[in-house]
Amino acid sequence: MDLKTLTQLLAQSENEHIEFKEAKSSYSFDKLVDYTIALANERGGKFILGVSDKKPRTIVGTRAFDELNKIKIHLMDMTKLHIEIEEIATPQGRVLIFNIPSRPIGMPLHRNGRYLMRSGESLTSMPADMLRRIFDEAGPDFTAEICSKAALSDLDEKAIEDFRNRWIKKSGNKSIATLTVKQLLSDAELLIDGKLTYGALILFGTFRALGRYLSQSEVVFEYRANDASGPAEFRKEYRQGFFSFYDELWQTIDLRNTNQHFQDGLFIWDIKTFNESAIRETILNAVSHRDYRMNGSVFVRQYPERIEITSPGGLLPGITFENILWAQAPRNRRLAETFAKCGLVERSGQGMNRIFESCLLESKETPDFTHSDADQFWLTLHGKIQHPEFLKVLEKIGEERIRSFTADDLIVLQNVYDNKSVKENLSQNVKALLEEGLLERAPRASGYKWILARRLYTAIGQAGVHTRKKGLDRDTHKALLLKHIKENAKEGTKLEELRQVLPFLNRSSIQVLVRELKAEGTIISSGHTKGTRWLPK
């Protein structure tokens, strides 16, 4: 954000989408979390420090929150939101702008049980009718509906105890161990007025119960050594409560999970073809976001270098493959909240950003949704490492700094390393990486817009690559073109030949250089349009 835009912001009145605080010397992190939740609950906004909160507003500067990367990490841990922080230096002092996204569709955020919103100059709890409207946004939750014929005897006791132990570990609340099964399920909202929900069956149901009441609640695993049609080499059907097979399913995948070994001098590392975190998160997504009103099972198909996971039901309204990293709209809220309670997921949302991050941190292809349609969600995870050298780049950046990166940050770094274009919607990420000294602007004539910083290339022993990408200076480019034109003075030189002299530049960049040579009086043109030839003067 530039000073002009900031000045325009100062003229706005405070409302549910914008809040100003002076915070000259410091500011409470707890209050920052509360305001973040309140603004997110009302569809997002900006929280600005270093500005007087009364009109006419002036910049007073703030010394709060020196280590912004750590603050960003802590905010994400507390709110489970992707929050961008802008730091603006002005003559009057430093200004911090926290860009807070909207809460997930159908899911208000809370802190210690309080669903916060702004009320005048302070924060208050959301009224019941407002909460009800938010919960209704995502439509009815099938997994919260009652299965009237099901009884506690239809549930697997071991699966329930697995959930109990995970919940204790996540919450640190040892009193959960003393709860009866009925009370445990009631507290998890899986038992309503003594009746089991479909969510309880999906999570803890026995084979017999699911066959009777919800036969489509099934995960089918197949291993195939190649793409040939026909029966799979191995197949197993899991028609049982999720907590009774979740670990076993990963262990089955891991049996055929190969290591990829790399060595470069003293730098040695082994990386599994299939990342456990990414695979587990993908399975959780498939189970918690599938449409249980549709027939069909979740399929997990493992190949030597890829895994395909398909689940009934397409994307929900408001979710696209362009915003899937951060937009959240759980189809089955009760399942997602149960997974969050016991620590299987960090939030009741898509979790897709974690899958992207796992792939990018291991230099693997990003998740592929090519075969998805309105009736099924089809996700392919490729296991082959694309660029071992990029792993060295990430190592040089450092683990602590990497922790503060979002999936979008990693996408920018990967695209720049691969000489791919960076989408306009990632401009803020590019700016942040430039400020951190991880990217550099490339000269206009180099053929690139951004390149990795010299120190990163130097650290991995590829300083020459940086020099090549940075490109020769403009005068050297023109000298090479002029030399070629002089050496071919008799025939003249076409533009296409000049592109062979500087193959890393695009056509328009070379045309600019040629026009400059002509303006300097060193070359002349002969002919017109495509037949034009360039001659020394």
- By the 8 A CB rule, do 417 and 465 touch? no
What average pLDDT score do residues 418-430 get? 83
Two structure tokens written together for 507: 């056509």
Per DSSP, the three-state class of 157 is: helix
- By the 8 A CB rule, do 250 and 282 touch? no
Q: If pLDDT is split at 50, 70 and 90, which confidence band does 138 have?
A: low
> Which percentage of the chain shows pLDDT scores above 70?
95
| Helices 333-341, 157-171: inter-axial angle, 10-degree rounding | 60
Determine the Cα–Cα distance for residues 274 and 38; give it in Å rounded to an integer: 38
Residue written as token pair 């990217």: 439
Q: Is the model's pLDDT at 347 over the cut of 50? A: no
How far does CA 47 lie from the centroid of its chain? 22
Determine the Cα–Cα distance for residues 49 and 97; give it in Å rounded to an integer: 7
What average pLDDT score do residues 189-217 get? 96
Supply the pLDDT for residue 448.
67
172 shares its domain with 257: yes
142 shares its domain with 127: no
Domain membership flag for residue 393: no
Kindly report which listed range (70-74, 141-145, 411-415, 528-532) carries the lowest average pLDDT score.
Answer: 528-532
366 shares its domain with 462: no
Two structure tokens written together for 513: 């250089």
Helices (H), 324-462: 333-341, 352-361, 388-397, 399-403, 407-417, 427-435, 454-459
- By the 8 A CB rule, do 299 and 222 touch? yes
Average pLDDT, the chain: 88
- By the 8 A CB rule, do 383 and 274 touch? yes
What average pLDDT score do residues 180-204 get? 96
What average pLDDT score do residues 459-481 get? 78
Determine the Cα–Cα distance for residues 246 and 117; give it in Å rounded to an integer: 37
**Domain total in the chain:** 4
Supply the pLDDT for residue 346.
58
Distances (CA, A) of 72 to 66, 68, 82, 459, 483: 11, 6, 9, 27, 53
365 shares its domain with 255: yes
- By the 8 A CB rule, do 19 and 45 touch? yes
Q: If pLDDT is split at 50, 70 and 90, which confidence band does 239 have?
A: very high
Supply the pLDDT for residue 333.
87
Per DSSP, the three-state class of 302 is: strand
Q: If pLDDT is split at 50, 70 and 90, which confidence band does 265 have?
A: low
Q: Is the model's pLDDT at 484 over the cut of 70? A: yes
Determine the Cα–Cα distance for residues 136 and 107; give it in Å rounded to an integer: 9
Provide the residue range defining the domain that includes 79. 3-134
Instruction: Considering only residues 50 and 464, tell me which one the structure prediction assigns the higher pLDDT.
Output: 50
236 shares its domain with 350: yes
Closest CA to 29 of 59, 87, 70: 70
Q: If pLDDT is split at 50, 70 and 90, which confidence band does 98 have?
A: very high
Q: Is the model's pLDDT at 115 over the cut of 80? A: yes
Supply the pLDDT for residue 394.
84
**Number of Cβ within a 10 Å radius of residue 217:** 25
Supply the pLDDT for residue 348.
41
What average pLDDT score do residues 315-327 get? 75
Domain membership flag for residue 391: no
Q: Is the model's pLDDT at 135 over the cut of 80? A: no
Determine the Cα–Cα distance for residues 49 and 25; give it in Å rounded to an integer: 10
Distances (CA, A) of 326 to 254, 350, 406: 29, 8, 10
Instruction: Considering only residues 319 and 223, tell me which one the structure prediction assigns the higher pLDDT.
Output: 223
Q: If pLDDT is split at 50, 70 and 90, which confidence band does 447 have?
A: low
User: Which CATH number belongs to the domain containing residue 185 in this structure?
Assistant: 3.30.565.60
Instruction: Considering only residues 473 and 494, tell me which one the structure prediction assigns the higher pLDDT.
Output: 494
Q: Is the model's pLDDT at 349 over the cut of 50? A: no
Q: Is the model's pLDDT at 304 over the cut of 80? A: yes
- For the entire predicted model, the pTM comes to 0.66
437 shares its domain with 481: no
Closest CA to 409 of 436, 425, 430, 385: 430
Determine the Cα–Cα distance for residues 410 and 389; give it in Å rounded to an integer: 15
Q: Of the spans 216-225, 385-394, 462-471, which averages the highest pLDDT?
A: 216-225
Q: If pLDDT is split at 50, 70 and 90, which confidence band does 446 have?
A: low
User: Which CATH number belongs to the domain containing residue 30 in this structure?
Assistant: 3.30.950.30
> Which percentage of the chain shows pLDDT scores above 90?
48
Domain boundary among 447, 470, 493: 470
19 shares its domain with 123: yes
Instruction: Considering only residues 382 and 319, tell me which one the structure prediction assigns the higher pLDDT.
Output: 382
